[in-house]
Amino acid sequence: MTTPDTAGSARDLFRRSYGAEPVGTWSAPGRANLIGEHTDYNDGFVLPFAIQHRTHVALAPRGDGIIRVVSTFDDSAVEVPLSDLDALFPTRRDEVVEWARYPLGVAWALLAASGTPADEVAGVDLAFASGVPVGAGLSSSAAIEGATAVALAENWGLELDRVALAQAGRRAENEAVGAPTGIMDQMASMLGRADAAIFLDCRSLDTRVVDLGFEAAGLDLVVIDTRVSHSHSTGGYGDRRAACERGAAIMGVPALRDLSVADLARAAELMDDVTFRRVRHVVTEDQRVLATVRLLSEEGPAAIGDLLVASHASMRDDFEISVPELDTAVDTALAAGAIGARMTGGGFGGAAIALIARDRVERLTDAVTAAFAASGFARPSIFTVTPSAGAARDA
């Protein structure tokens, strides 16, 4: 299921804003993470997949050296001479309205990555429309970055592969926006495939397409967005990152990725209990990602449920980033017949995912909605995500 009307919205916005026809539309998806949480910045493993919700961009080149962006989020266009991007990012980024830093930051990072002087490429007009829910843990940010990257790279004739496009998106997010994120989201959005996940080694950036087989097994992946905002989690996130760095330093390794489960006994002796439990989450989560990849190929998706459940328990008890809404979502999903469920994303709110037989999705939806009401929580948003193709020019 793609979102043709979102491409249409991008085209309509383009015509309305610029009074001209775009030369085409490009798009990139959001993503969900099947397993591998808080492992990315520890140089470890993740297993995300691209989803069917996409951000589309309509584009046309223009005769001067100006880049202009407009979005359905904010109808007023932002325009900047391409030759000014180097001066704006990262130091003067506050002069650019926040949402526009994503596409303009990608333009800046692409020119830098390809060593292209700004006066050697044509100006461009861009118009964005998105079907990716914002702030639901599905990475609308990677979607707008990815759509911008494929559209500009093609129009400017840049010789950059998909990993380089993902890296430009991450650089935009880190330096032009100022959000300290890893590269998982951009890699998933760039490399996604239908009914498959992307196994990513966050140290080497090696990737492998891993068949999920949800279709053949009759399984659906359900997202339960608790609507609990994780905007206050900055402190918690930074604190977890610091604990991981501390743990690695105590163990004398560059990153927690370099520890195995056999090292945990020594870790327990060397560090305080809280740091140890943060370390144990990351070390065991890396192992769960590897085990998930193995089980998917050897036994199929119905076999991975226990690993999802163990991942949740580890985040709840060791990493301590769950909240009552997420625990309720996971427990209720399992009671309603899910073969596995866990919170996903940074924590302190956001969404949980549940893997469940297609004919039980309605039962799960009703059960979770009722459990949230009974606990006095806000009504959750519950929907199915389908592993889908990555960034591309639209047909």
Q: Rule CB under 5 A: which residues touch Mg ion?
A: 139, 141
Which of Mg ion, ligand ADP, none interacts with 128 (beta carbon under 5 to 8 A by kind)?
ligand ADP
Q: What contacts 272, CB < 8 A, 6 or more positions away?
A: none
CB of 186 to ligand ADP, least distance (A): 11
Smaller CB distance to ligand ADP: residue 73 or 359? 73
**128 counts as binding ligand ADP under rule CB under 6 A:** yes
Say whether residue 27 binds ligand ADP (CB under 6 A): no
Kindly state the tokens that stand for 142.
């990677």
Based on the shown chain and the rule CB under 6 A, indicate whether residue 388 belongs to the binding site for ligand ADP. no
User: Quick check: helix, strand or coil at residue 312?
Assistant: helix
| Among 98-106, 216-224, 273-281, 298-306, the segment contacting ligand ADP (CB under 6 A) | 98-106
Closer CB to ligand ADP, 73 or 268, in the complex: 73
Q: Which residue is nearest to Mg ion (CB)?
A: 141
Q: Does residue 98 belong to the site contacting ligand ADP (CB under 6 A)?
A: yes
For residue 323, what are the contacts with CB-CB under 8 A and spacing of at least 6?
Answer: 226, 228, 347, 348, 349
Residue 109 is classified by DSSP as H
- For residue 230 the two structure tokens come to 């994780």
Burial letters 335-355, b for 16+ CB under 10 A, else e: ebebbbbbbbbbbbbbbbbbb
- For residue 59, the surrounding DSSP H or E stretch is strand 48-62
Residue 18 touching ligand ADP (CB under 6 A): no
Backbone angles phi, psi at 130, to 5 degrees: -130, 140
Q: State yes or no: residue 3 binds ligand ADP (CB under 6 A).
A: no
Site string for ligand ADP, 355-384 (x = CB under 6 A): ------------------------------
Q: Contact with ligand ADP (CB under 6 A): which of 3, 25, 141, 233?
A: 141
Q: What gap in Å lies between CA 334 and CA 203, rounded to an integer?
A: 33
Reduce the DSSP state of residue 313 to 3 states and report it. helix
Stretch that binds ligand ADP, among 37-45, 129-137, 247-255, 367-375 (CB under 6 A): 129-137
**Structural contact between residues 131 and 55, judged by C-beta atoms closer than 8 angstroms:** yes
Rounded CA separation 323/341 (Å)? 15
Distance between CA atoms of residues 222 and 353, nearest Å: 6
Rule CB under 6 A: is residue 313 a binding residue for ligand ADP?
A: no
Please pick, from the candidates 25, 27, 33, 71, the single residue that binds ligand ADP as defined by CB under 6 A: 71
Separation CA 41–CA 179 (nearest Å): 13
Comparison of 144 and 283: residue with beta carbon closer to ligand ADP:
144
Active site residues: 185
Residue closer to Mg ion, measured from CB, 169 or 380 = 169
Residues that bind ligand ADP (CB under 6 A): 55, 71, 73, 98-99, 102, 128, 130, 134-135, 137-141, 144
